[in-house]
Structure 1
């Protein structure tokens, strides 16, 4: 599955659940929440959690959680771009063009 296919699937999924109609600002809040969870996942890998209420996770569990949180952030980027009718492939090209223009001589 590519990004465009996943964006279409995700949009349909959100519409079925009644989540798509939320304003884009709400989706941005969802993304902010997911970025916080991603931050927590990275912290757990880099410096540990040292939280008495949490069981210590194995390296495989930490990596699995990192992948899950990265996917959640990506999904919210795809939802916001869908709300503005932006093809996700365009985002990839925009990123490459910007960095190439800025840093290549």
Structure 2
């Protein structure tokens, strides 16, 4: 599945759940929430949680949680971009183009 195909699938899923019609401000709040969850997942990996209500997670569980939270954050970016009629593939191209332009002559070779 390409990122554009995932964006299309995600929009359809959100429309079926009646979540897509929320304003970009609401989706930005969702993104902020997911970003916090990414932060929590990284903290758990890097320094631990030391929380009496949580069982100690294995490294595999910690990594799986980080992957899940990163995917959730990405999904919110894709939904927001769709609300503004921006194709996900265009986001990738814009990122690469900006970095290439900014760091001309200082780019790693592939």
- Cα deviation, 1:4-47, whole Å, max 9, x if unaligned, reads 00000000000000000000100000000000000000000000
Cα deviation, 1:49-79, whole Å, max 9, x if unaligned, reads 0111110000000000000000000000000
Alignment partners' CA distance in 2, 1:98 and 1:55? 43
User: Separation in 1 of the partners of 2:79 and 2:61?
Assistant: 27
How many residue pairs align between the two structures? 105
Structure 2 alignment gaps of length 5 or more? 106-110
Give the 4+ runs in structure 1 shifted more than 4 A.
none
Tell me the equivalent position of 1:93. Answer: 93
Aligned to 2:108: none
> Which residue pairs with 2:31 in the alignment?
31
Tell me which protein shows more helix as a share of its residues. Answer: 1
TM-score by length of 2: 0.94
SS at match of 2:53: coil
Q: Map 1:1-105; keep pairs closer than 5 Å.
A: 1-105=1-105
Q: Which moved more, 1:74-83 or 1:95-104?
A: 95-104
With the length of structure 1 as denominator, give the TM-score of the two structures. Answer: 0.98
Deviation at 1:104, TM superposition (A): 1.9
